[in-house]
Amino acid sequence: MSMFKDIPVDVGVIYEGERIRRNDMQVELGGPTVKQKFELAKVKPMNEIEDGKITIIGPDLKDLKEGGAFPFGILIEAAGAKLDAGLEGVLERRIHGYLNYIEGFMHLNQRYDIWIRIGKKSFQKGLNSFEPIGKVIYRLFKSELPIVEKLQVTFITDPAKLDELTPEAIQAYEARDSKARGLKDAEVSEFYGCALCQSFAPSHVCVITPQRYSNCGAISWFDGKASASIDPKGPVFAIPRGEIINEEKGEFSGVNEAAKQRSMGEVTKVWLYTAFDHPHTSCGCFEAITFYIPEVDGLGVVQRNFKGAAVNGLPFSTLADSAAGGRQIDGFHGMSIEYMRSSKFFAADGGWTRIVWVPKEVKEKVKDFIPADVVDKIATEEDAKNVDELKAFLKAKNHPVVARWEAEAAPAAAETAAITVNEEAAGTMMPVATAGSLPIMAGGFKIILKDAKIYANKVIIQTVKDEKKP
Amino acid sequence: MTSKNVHVKIDEMKTNAGLIKNLELSIGKVINDNYTEPMGPTPMPSVTALRDWDMKLLTKYKPFYMPDCDSCCLCTFGKCDLTAGKRGACGLDIGAQSSRIVMIACAIGSACHTAHSRHLVHHLIEKYGRRYPLDVGGLNVKVEAPVSRLVTGIKPETLGDLDDILTYTEEQITQILATAHTGQEANNLDFESKAFHIGMVDHVGMEVGDIAQISTLGYPKADPEAPLVKLGIGSVDRTKPVIMCIGHNVVPSVGIIDYAKDTKVDDKIEVVGLCCTSHDMTRYYTRARIVGPISWELRFIRAGLADVVVLDEQCIRTDVAEEAAKTNTPVIAASEKNCVGFKNRTNDSTDAIVEDLVSGKVKGVLVLDPEKVGEVAVRVAQAVAPIRKRKNVLPTAEEVVAIAKTCTQCKQCQRNCPQDYFIPAAMKAAAAGDLSKLTDLYEVCIGCGRCEQACPQKIAIHSLIVKAGEKSMECEDNLCRSGRGAVSDVEIRNVGSPIVLGEIPGIVAIVGCSNYPKGGKDVYDIAREFASRRYIVVLSGCSAMSAGSYRNSEGKTLYEEFPGGFEAGGVSNVGSCVANSHIAGAAIKVANIFAKRPLRGNYEEIADYIHNRLGAVGLAWGAYSQKAAAIGAGFWRLGVPVVVGPHGSKYRRMLLGRKEDPTNWEVLDARTGETVNVGPTPEHLFNVAETKEECIVQIAKLCMRPNDTWKGRAGKLSHYIDLHKRYLGVMPNDIHLYIRTMADVPITMKDEIGKILEANNWKETIIPDPTLLPRMVRKMK
């Protein structure tokens, strides 16, 4: 490995999943028993960075007692003409990946929660200083991210210095988070498209905006920005936002154009903030799916790992199947959990006031982002196991959708049938025929059959599918 | 749900709609067509329906013949010498003859699985009724029978529906076998295409059988947390009577377990199994024991460990009756397919059969009623155990030395050993009082007994080996994960993103038999290597047992060390031989679930998808049987590469890509219709690896696909390069063929690889939306 020939241990992607057990470790840095710990990336002006400088504040690795756990901080400071503070989070998360490439180096978690172990074997091979570790980080940043023009790395083990820097780091995370969450789609000129999963779902294109994470939950707008600038020809690309055609629904001329191009004309119009009419397409690997429940005129959400059936009687697998594969299906929307934290979360449909059922696990995760006046009105699997129970629950809690029931005519009985009939995945036996589907009963005729014999070689009975629109 | 022969008779019925009197309705067949997916182009494909697709694959991966036998003796024209380009009396040359033998092997294997499934379906319908609903994974599985849907266009919902699917497979097996007759098919590639066809059919047959037993017998249902079950003879309480079931068909074992439970003696006896029957026994009853792969029959019988041997079907030594007689072990044959020459006692009273076996009046019986087998086996085991007292035919350690002294070192044993083990050296050491070399042989011996057949001194060499290994044998106490069955739809979705983002470098399916070149440890090592690298590892059959037979430095078996899900770093056991269909099923489901490609009767498109996109590789490190050939053929037609161990060369030909020929690697970009050279991804469709090290490197390389994202390719290349360096000692010489853009280069290797690319005049190319089918090129709307 010529790139790392002066590093005493091997460096490669294959060490990524390496775990170091307590008995095999030389030292632990950060981790659950240590309070002062952080890793932070900062973007600085060019003249403030000395490229390639590695600083160690406090005792070096070889001076830390074997078997101990120590407070620890990593500070990465970068500069580049195209770098801005918005990319700090992206740079910071690379630290985790890069450090794990080092043989005998385990890095878990991020930010103020880092947990590092150095393996005894690697220590004995010569990985006894932060110097080579800093070199690895430096070289990988420079090699993978040309937008990083200058970089310096600081390791801190000195407790006094950590007392000073840890609160600063925590402040920096908070500031970054609130800025990221505050960034609006309407304020940026570029969105990002991701065609990574086109390798498996060829007609899907994800549109990633500040207020809408990728469906898989893995790529934020900032990630998209970084990827697109690193490799403009790659699968993550900039989409000029273009004109705002419909602010409420989230329709942008640039998005429509990109969708049309990338889907070969399959999809021509995308509304980013709604589950209806022209929702965002659903790939194959979305974290959760939103589904329309016509009986209550509301939206339900079910996540991938939810065991059992959602409130409408269908499990995730069936619901996902009705939208997946890069299709745009009215009333269904595959999405990330992070999107539920966005203020544009189905904003055009009423946002959280339109959500009626969310499994407890997900609700807990996003609770802080649900408006206080509806949070208790949204049912979980503990409150409602079927649509009737859901109706009763919503009514009892006076969920905002209840007002819609009064405004509109009561949902037709046929709609109920359309949803409940589609139960094949539940493995239940289907009625061979229902009264309503026998043509013999249709119309105002009276039929009298006497001594009739009917023979058929084969009778095909199809369940009638009612493709009702919400 | 499909029903046959429906009769309705109404004498008089008054309803609001009308009056009905004496209505008789007779319907031959009612098909409840809930399967609304439109029918694809090739439902129930005939022998030639997918021939064009086969030829595309066979052009890319040409047969490379390595005839294990260069004459043909199938008809009385012969035997014909086919060496040096000669043709036989019928006109066939060695290429076509080799492919013909491959096809025949695949047809035998396919017939075996389909017949097994047919028996299961018959039996289970009799017991549970045609309308018994199928359930392979509850709410987590919507695509319950991916292979059957894909091939036949049928979406089975009840046991009865499986009947129609089997009718199709049975017809295809007949058609294919017919083409092997003298003076039928003339062309080698057509024989290959027919081998592919019957391999595809094989997976349908297997799927039917496993779905039927999962649905009715309470097996784990697509369960990543299927229970851990005991594995190894050391886990058996040998103070209790031991019933040893050998084979593949669980029905007689179910009879035994049910009878033992009903009569409350289940904790007083041990029910153990060899080969796939044991997997299915533990799926039914977690207290059953898997004692080992098929190759261990002789060692257990000679060691006297079984008080009763029950035989069902497939892969059973045909000299079990003779061997068991030497240790006074009664044998019950329980399958029509393997009657062992015993008298059919199915209609005799249980008391009479038990008495005859216990008294030793007969050595074995044929009983074709599984419930009766259950009662006879349990009662005989209990009665015989105190009389037999574990009688065995193993010599004492002193006798081993004495017998070894009679060895003349003629080396016939080694010459006849399929593994070419150094038996003479072990005998020499034993003669000098050192049994350690014989003990070493115990660890790797595949138990075929050919050494004994060849020995002019009539030395029971295998018994000597078993005696030397007795102590290790008694310590075999490990864990296997009970067969989980299908991969759930939800698991498929969960791995979508990590596969796309390159966090999961590939899927390795380790299947097949136990004639490994150097013992089962290799299988364990290979599985562990890939699981540690966060590949998805799936096992089945004898390989799943071997993989569970070793422990890591912390004393954990593979199934304890890694989770049982279809996930990064997961090690799952799908189950017995017929459960192999779930591995193909998982690949098919990826196409359906990620890309929403229709399955119904849509084989070619799905195979094209899998071949070009899904980084899955099959490995049969031991592959002795015709069934293994058929399973492999089913993967070939899907375009999934298969690697076999050294014995796999006896399948007579490989399907090799020529990486030096760029025209071999052209695909169409479905976005533009342009032809793109994607490099040798995957390089081969079927090839032999000679050593574990070579095998590991091959697998890593064969995981690459034309659609890999740059992240995915970079990860796959990292593993390929690292494994190549680690196991073969050098940098691979073909990296430049796998790099399309600089982003594909693993980030820690940019300098090093940059120089290689320069030296090879490398040029950047694009990552297409790959397909081999012109009709898949999309048109701008």
Q: What confidence tens digit (pLDDT) does each residue in B571-582 have?
A: 999 999 999 999
Residues of chain B contacting residue A266, judged by C-beta atoms under 8 Å apart:
781
Q: A19 Cβ partners below 8 Å, 6+ apart?
A: A106
8 Å CB contact of B596 and A455:
no
B449 assigned to some structural domain? no
B759 assigned to some structural domain? yes
Q: How far is A370 from chain B (nearest CA, A)?
A: 26
pLDDT at residue A449 tops 70: no
B624 assigned to some structural domain? yes
Asked if the C-beta of B30 comes within 8 angstroms of chain A's C-beta atoms, the answer is: yes
In whole angstroms, what is the distance from residue A211 CA to residue A186 CA? 10
In whole angstroms, what is the distance from residue B7 CA to residue B386 CA? 57
Q: Same domain for B407 and B518?
A: no
| Option in A140, A316, A426 nearest B747 (CB) | A140
Asked if the C-beta of B20 comes within 8 angstroms of chain A's C-beta atoms, the answer is: yes
Mutation target for B interface from A15, A142, A227, A264: give the one with most B CBs within 10 A: A264
8 Å CB contact of A324 and B709:
no
Which pLDDT does position B565 carry in this prediction?
95
| Option in A17, A235, A325 nearest B709 (CB) | A235
Q: What are phi and psi of A438, to 5 degrees?
A: -85, 115
B222 assigned to some structural domain? no
Q: Same domain for B580 and B720?
A: yes
Tell me the pLDDT of chain A averaged across its residues: 85
Q: Which residues pair with B272 in a beta bridge?
A: B244, B289
Q: Same domain for B289 and B383?
A: yes
**Contact call for residues B581 and B147 (beta carbons, < 8 A):** yes
In whole angstroms, what is the distance from residue A432 CA to residue B596 CA? 28
pLDDT at residue B664 tops 60: yes
Q: Which two tokens stand for residue B388?
A: 């037999």
In whole angstroms, what is the distance from residue B103 CA to residue B98 CA? 9
Cα separations in angstroms, B756 against B698, B750, B760 = 21, 10, 6
In whole angstroms, what is the distance from residue B754 CA to residue A422 CA? 56
In whole angstroms, what is the distance from residue B390 CA to residue B49 CA? 57
If you compute the radius of gyration of chain B from its CA atoms, what whole number of angstroms results?
A: 27
| Option in A11, A446, A461 nearest B31 (CB) | A461
A9-13, A106-110, A430-434, A463-467: the lowest-pLDDT one? A430-434
A8-17, A246-255, B620-629: the lowest-pLDDT one? A8-17
Tens of pLDDT, residue by residue over B363-404, are 999 999 999 999 999 999 999 999 999 999 999 999 999 999
Q: Are strands A206-208 and B62-65 parallel, antiparallel or unpaired?
A: unpaired
Residues of chain B contacting residue A199, judged by C-beta atoms under 8 Å apart:
500, 613, 707-709, 712, 767, 769
Q: Are strands B770-771 and B666-669 parallel, antiparallel or unpaired?
A: antiparallel
**Contact call for residues A466 and A418 (beta carbons, < 8 A):** yes
pLDDT at residue B509 tops 80: yes
**Contact call for residues B634 and B584 (beta carbons, < 8 A):** yes
pLDDT at residue B96 tops 60: yes
% pLDDT > 90, chain B: 87
Amino acid making up residue B565: G
Tens of pLDDT, residue by residue over A195-213, are 887 777 777 889 999 999 8
> Taking the alpha carbons of A263, A268, A273, A279 in that order, is the dihedral positive or negative?
negative
Asked if the C-beta of B457 comes within 8 angstroms of chain A's C-beta atoms, the answer is: no
Closest among B668, B745, B674 to B707, alpha carbons compared: B668
Which pLDDT does position A181 carry in this prediction?
80
8 Å CB contact of B613 and A199:
yes
Q: How far is B115 from chain A (nearest CA, A)?
A: 27
Q: Same domain for B622 and B643?
A: yes
DSSP-based three-state secondary structure for B592: helix
Name the percent of chain A in helix, strand, coil, to the closest 5: 35, 20, 40
Q: Are strands A236-240 and A251-252 parallel, antiparallel or unpaired?
A: unpaired
Residues of chain A contacting residue B11, judged by C-beta atoms under 8 Å apart:
none
DSSP-based three-state secondary structure for B689: coil
**Overall pTM surpassing 0.95 (yes/no):** no
Q: Are strands B684-688 and B642-644 parallel, antiparallel or unpaired?
A: parallel
Amino acid making up residue B577: C
Residues of chain B contacting residue A198, judged by C-beta atoms under 8 Å apart:
769
| CATH level 2 (architecture), domain A185-407 | 3-Layer(aba) Sandwich (3.40)
8 Å CB contact of A321 and B489:
yes
Amino acid making up residue A228: A
The helix (H) or strand (E) run that includes residue B32 is strand B18-32
Amino acid making up residue B396: T
Which pLDDT does position A425 carry in this prediction?
38
Looking at per-residue pLDDT, the higher value among A447 and B676 belongs to B676
Which pLDDT does position A97 carry in this prediction?
86
Q: Same domain for B725 and B649?
A: yes
* DSSP 8-state code for residue B264: T
Looking at per-residue pLDDT, the higher value among A324 and B255 belongs to B255
Which pLDDT does position A435 carry in this prediction?
35
- CATH fold of the domain at A2-182: 3.30.1650
pLDDT at residue B729 tops 90: yes
- The residue count for chain A: 470
B470 assigned to some structural domain? no
Closest among B625, B664, B707 to B316, alpha carbons compared: B625
Query: How much is the average pLDDT of A390-400?
Result: 95
Residues of chain B contacting residue A308, judged by C-beta atoms under 8 Å apart:
139
8 Å CB contact of B20 and A452:
yes
Mutation target for B interface from A199, A256, A260, A455: give the one with most B CBs within 10 A: A199
Residues of chain B contacting residue A316, judged by C-beta atoms under 8 Å apart:
490, 493
pLDDT at residue A263 tops 90: no
Please, which residues 533-592 of chain B have a Cβ atom closer than 8 Å to chain A?
533-534, 568-569, 590
With tokens 């890694």, the residue in question is B562
DSSP-based three-state secondary structure for A135: helix
- State which of A175-189, B2-16, B125-139, B242-256 shows the largest mean pLDDT: B242-256
A60-69, A230-239, A250-259: the lowest-pLDDT one? A230-239
Query: How much is the average pLDDT of B85-110?
Result: 97
A9-18, B146-155, B544-553, B624-633: the lowest-pLDDT one? A9-18
Q: Same domain for B571 and B515?
A: yes
Confidence band, pLDDT 50/70/90 cuts, at residue B559? very high
Amino acid making up residue B781: K
Q: Chain A residue closest to B24 (CA)?
A: A453
| Option in B17, B743, B780 nearest A231 (CB) | B743
Please, which residues 105-134 of chain B have a Cβ atom closer than 8 Å to chain A?
131, 133-134
| Option in A12, A266, A304 nearest B748 (CB) | A12
Q: B182 Cβ partners below 8 Å, 6+ apart?
A: B74, B75, B77, B90
| Option in B25, B490, B714 nearest A317 (CB) | B490
Query: How much is the average pLDDT of B479-506?
Result: 90
Asked if the C-beta of B84 comes within 8 angstroms of chain A's C-beta atoms, the answer is: no
> Taking the alpha carbons of B217, B222, B223, B227 in that order, is the dihedral positive or negative?
positive
Q: What are phi and psi of B476, to 5 degrees?
A: -70, 95
Residues of chain B contacting residue A304, judged by C-beta atoms under 8 Å apart:
490, 493-494
Closest among B643, B640, B674, B679 to B662, alpha carbons compared: B679
Q: Same domain for B417 and B307?
A: no
Q: Are strands B571-575 and B536-540 parallel, antiparallel or unpaired?
A: parallel
**The sheet that has B331-333: what strands, in order across it?**
B364-366, B331-333, B308-311, B242-246, B270-274, B289-292, B228-231, B478-481
pLDDT at residue A183 tops 70: yes
Q: B262 Cβ partners below 8 Å, 6+ apart?
A: none
Which pLDDT does position B609 carry in this prediction?
95
Query: How much is the average pLDDT of B671-677?
Result: 94
Q: Same domain for B676 and B728?
A: yes
In whole angstroms, what is the distance from residue A258 CA to residue B45 CA? 40
8 Å CB contact of A3 and B34:
no
Which pLDDT does position A110 carry in this prediction?
84
Confidence band, pLDDT 50/70/90 cuts, at residue A451? low
B76 assigned to some structural domain? no
Residues of chain A contacting residue B2, judged by C-beta atoms under 8 Å apart:
none
Closest among B474, B441, B472, B329 to B392, alpha carbons compared: B329
In whole angstroms, what is the distance from residue B189 CA to residue B109 CA? 20
Spans of all domains in chain A? 2-182, 185-407
Domain boundary among B388, B404, B429: B388
Q: How many other CB atoms are found less than 10 A from the CB of residue B551?
A: 15
- The residue count for chain B: 781
Q: How far is A207 from chain B (nearest CA, A)?
A: 16
CB pairs under 8 A between A and B: 242
Q: Which residues pair with B65 in a beta bridge?
A: B653
Q: Same domain for B628 and B675?
A: yes
B325 assigned to some structural domain? yes
8 Å CB contact of B139 and A101:
no
Query: How much is the average pLDDT of A33-37?
Result: 92
- List strand residue ranges (DSSP E) for B275-361, in order: 289-292, 308-311, 331-333
Judging by beta carbons within 10 Å of its beta carbon (0-12, 13-18, 19+), is residue B45 exposed, middle or buried? buried
Which pLDDT does position A2 carry in this prediction?
66
A62-66, A279-283, A319-323, B256-260: the lowest-pLDDT one? A319-323
8 Å CB contact of A453 and B138:
no
Can you spell out the DSSP letters for A282-301?
B-S--SEEEEEETTTTEEEE
Buried-state track B85-98, b at ≥16 Cβ within 10 A, e below 16? eeebebebebbbbb
B503 assigned to some structural domain? yes
A388-392, B616-620, B740-744: the lowest-pLDDT one? B740-744
Domains in chain B: how many in total? 4
Q: Same domain for B314 and B405?
A: no
**Contact call for residues B579 and B540 (beta carbons, < 8 A):** yes
In whole angstroms, what is the distance from residue A126 CA to residue A132 CA? 10
Q: How far is A402 from chain B (nearest CA, A)?
A: 30
Which pLDDT does position A463 carry in this prediction?
58
Q: What are phi and psi of B70, to 5 degrees?
A: -110, 25
pLDDT at residue B665 tops 60: yes
pLDDT at residue A466 tops 60: no
Confidence band, pLDDT 50/70/90 cuts, at residue A442? very low
Q: What are phi and psi of B617, to 5 degrees?
A: -135, 135
Please, which residues 596-635 of chain B have a Cβ atom closer than 8 Å to chain A?
596-597, 613
**Contact call for residues B97 and B70 (beta carbons, < 8 A):** no
In whole angstroms, what is the distance from residue B335 CA to residue B54 CA? 36
Which pLDDT does position A223 carry in this prediction?
86
Amino acid making up residue A200: F
Q: How far is B524 from chain A (nearest CA, A)?
A: 19
Confidence band, pLDDT 50/70/90 cuts, at residue A217? confident
Identify the CATH number of the domain in which residue B485 sits: 3.40.50.2030
Q: Same domain for B486 and B600?
A: yes
In whole angstroms, what is the distance from residue B194 CA to residue B636 CA? 12
Q: Chain B residue closest to A265 (CA)?
A: B781
Residues of chain A contacting residue B709, judged by C-beta atoms under 8 Å apart:
196, 199, 235
Which pLDDT does position B710 carry in this prediction?
87
Q: Which two tokens stand for residue B137?
A: 């994974």
* DSSP 8-state code for residue A319: H
Q: A349 Cβ partners below 8 Å, 6+ apart?
A: A273, A274, A275, A276, A299
Q: Are strands B62-65 and B18-32 parallel, antiparallel or unpaired?
A: unpaired
Residues of chain B contacting residue A456, judged by C-beta atoms under 8 Å apart:
26-28
Q: A326 Cβ partners below 8 Å, 6+ apart?
A: A198, A201, A202, A203, A204, A205, A263, A266, A281, A282, A283, B595, B596
Q: Chain B residue closest to A441 (CA)?
A: B17
The boundaries of the domain holding residue B433 are 395-438+461-465
Q: A210 Cβ partners below 8 Å, 6+ apart?
A: A180, A183, A184, A185, A187, A188, A221
Tens of pLDDT, residue by residue over A406-438, are 776 544 444 433 333 333 333 333 333 333 333
Can you spell out the DSSP letters for B262-301?
HTT-TTTSEEEEETHHHHHHHHH-TTSEEEE-GGGHHHHH
> Taking the alpha carbons of A221, A224, A229, A230 in that order, is the dihedral positive or negative?
positive
In whole angstroms, what is the distance from residue B98 CA to residue B581 CA? 26
Tens of pLDDT, residue by residue over A338-385, are 899 999 999 999 999 999 999 999 999 999 999 999 999 999 999 999
Q: How far is B363 from chain A (nearest CA, A)?
A: 47
Q: Same domain for B409 and B535?
A: no
Mutation target for A interface from B149, B717, B748: give the one with most A CBs within 10 A: B748
pLDDT at residue B737 tops 80: yes
